[in-house]
Structure 1
Amino acid sequence: MQKIVVLTGAGISAESGLKTFRDSGGLWEGHDVTQVATPEAWARDRTLVLEFYNQRRKQALEVKPNPGHLALAELESKFEVSIVTQNIDALHEKAGSSKVLHLHGEISKVRSTEDPNLVYELDGWELKEGDKCDKGSQLRPHIVWFGEAVPMMEPAIQEVMSADIFIVAGTSLVVYPAASLIDFVRSEAPKFIVDPKIPEVTVGNNFYLYEEPASTGLPKIKDQLIQEYL
């Protein structure tokens, strides 16, 4: 069974109705990204950061997977599929994908500010000041903030290197280190790119470009892969 590795970004979540910083010019209700999604922001105004993620978490619970998410889940019946996502929502899991690696964390989880290994599934959408881990420290969103290391990058690289087929959906390939993952794909592996604006890095052999949203492009790619490889 051939292995498909998929890299997804904010574009596929935006099609389900989730707001992104990129869509809003890097702002959230007038706040710059550095005011709500950095360690410095957490130290400066914990209440604001908690409210920002509470609202994002509340919204994430309300949205549903779109045809792009569903197409990737359906591929599991014919291929081994591994998804590496820059998104912090659970839309891939809701669609039925069983192997999802979250590069930037998960909005539904929280972790200890003292021990990053203490991670908890949050019941509901609200994380409050005073909610503490088992060691007594304040809980924070289980998110990789701007300026923090990306601990799942190495596992993601290993997944990408093992790909027989590589798909990129809903990402501009400009946010690093995630954007560098395409450099680890074997040269002979076909690479399918779907985005309304095709990234400039997609030049060379074995590239198949779909200049459209993930919700329409991924179902087409699914059909093409089933037709060509099975």
Structure 2
Amino acid sequence: MTPQRAPHLVVLTGAGISAESGIQTFRADDGLWADHRVEEVATPEAWRRDPARVLAFYNARRDQVRRARPNAAHKALAALERQGFRVSIVTQNIDDLHERAGSRQVLHLHGEILKARSTVDRRMHYPLPRGGIELGDICDKGSQLRPDVVWFGEEVPHFGEACEIVGGADLVLVVGTSLAVMPAASLLQHAPLGAPCVLVDPEVEALAPPGVARLSQPAGKGVPALVRHWRREGRLWVPETLLG
């Protein structure tokens, strides 16, 4: 299968796929978000008001991400890429589980928690292979470092690139996200006419937009099932036997 002719799968992933690896979402009733309001730790206003609290919260999230491991869904997508399919992942998640599973084309819409960035120049990024960010940690321009994440109320810098990726899809797979948060919610509108879309989620009946095929399974079960079909057939298609 040559790269030029390889089927192009574009995967849109959200918190649901990472939750199966033990990473809590901000909508969960337990975990790190339980004792924090979004407005207190995930907005530019919170950062200006109490940067120490914001840094402590994201340091704890960073530790959680480092302890997590890729699950069967992450691994299946990486295996499909290794077989020769073009697999582009556009994720709303800030963890590195796709990369650790072996996926090479991953675009993080909302940033990456294992990186820090300058508060005065968002182009200046610093990897965080260990530890966290503390008050007094500065960039090369002398400004305090902050988490490299997109907070509520901030623009999504890679959204245009994400639209271009979706525009080149042969099939769009949506996993673990309702695509309810803008601007990510509009990504499906950029898919080519006729390109099928499949949503994998246990709550698929309540989440799937019109015209989207539905697979009512958790990511760790549904994604590997689809990938097995695609690897066996050498093409992207929607197997009716799997869809309810």
Shorter-chain TM-score category?
Answer: over 0.9
Q: Deviations over 1:140-177 (max 9, x none)?
A: 00000000000000000000000011100000121111
Shift of 1:41: 0.3
Shift of 1:180: 1.0
Q: How many correspondences in the alignment?
A: 228
Identity of aligned residues (%): 53
Shift of 1:92: 0.1
The one of 100, 116, 119 equivalent to 1:113 is: 119
Aligned partner of 1:93: which letter? E
Are 1:26 and 1:33, in contact at CA under 8 Å, matched by a contact in 2? Answer: no
Determine the structure 1 residue equivalent to 2:202: 196
Determine the structure 2 residue equivalent to 1:156: 162
Q: Deviations over 1:163-207 (max 9, x none)?
A: 011100000121111111111112311111101111544322xx3
1:9 is the counterpart of 2:19: no
Aligned partner of 2:162: which letter? A
Runs of 4+ in 1 over 4 A off after TM superposition: none
Determine the structure 2 residue equivalent to 1:94: 100
Shift of 1:28: 2.1
The one of 89, 97, 117 equivalent to 1:83 is: 89
Give ranges in structure 1 of 5+ residues lacking alignment: none
Determine the structure 1 residue equivalent to 2:60: 55
Q: Deviations over 1:115-152 (max 9, x none)?
A: 11111102313110000000101000000000000000
1:23 is the counterpart of 2:28: yes
Take 2:129 and 2:208, find their aligned partners in 1: how far apart are those partners? 41
Take 1:113 and 1:129, find their aligned partners in 2: how far apart are those partners? 12
Q: Deviations over 1:23-53 (max 9, x none)?
A: 1389824220110000000001111100000
Are 1:84 and 1:156, in contact at CA under 8 Å, matched by a contact in 2? Answer: yes
Are 2:199 and 2:208, in contact at CA under 8 Å, matched by a contact in 1? Answer: no
Take 1:27 and 1:108, find their aligned partners in 2: how far apart are those partners? 17
Determine the structure 1 residue equivalent to 2:109: 103
Take 1:166 and 1:78, find their aligned partners in 2: how far apart are those partners? 17
Are 1:196 and 1:212, in contact at CA under 8 Å, matched by a contact in 2? Answer: yes
Q: Deviations over 1:91-116 (max 9, x none)?
A: 00000001100000000000011111
Aligned partner of 2:147: which letter? P
Q: RMSD of aligned C-alpha atoms?
A: 1.6
Determine the structure 2 residue equivalent to 1:72: 77
Give ranges in structure 2 of 5+ residues lacking alignment: 1-5, 236-244
The one of 128, 136, 141 equivalent to 2:147 is: 141
Q: How does 1:172-211 map to 2 (within 5 A)?
A: 172-198=178-204, 199-204=206-211, 207-211=212-216
The one of 220, 223, 229 equivalent to 2:225 is: 220
Are 2:24 and 2:32, in contact at CA under 8 Å, matched by a contact in 1? Answer: no
Aligned partner of 2:210: which letter? V
Shift of 1:211: 0.6
Take 2:130 and 2:183, find their aligned partners in 1: how far apart are those partners? 31
Aligned partner of 1:103: which letter? L
TM-score normalised by structure 1 residue count: 0.95
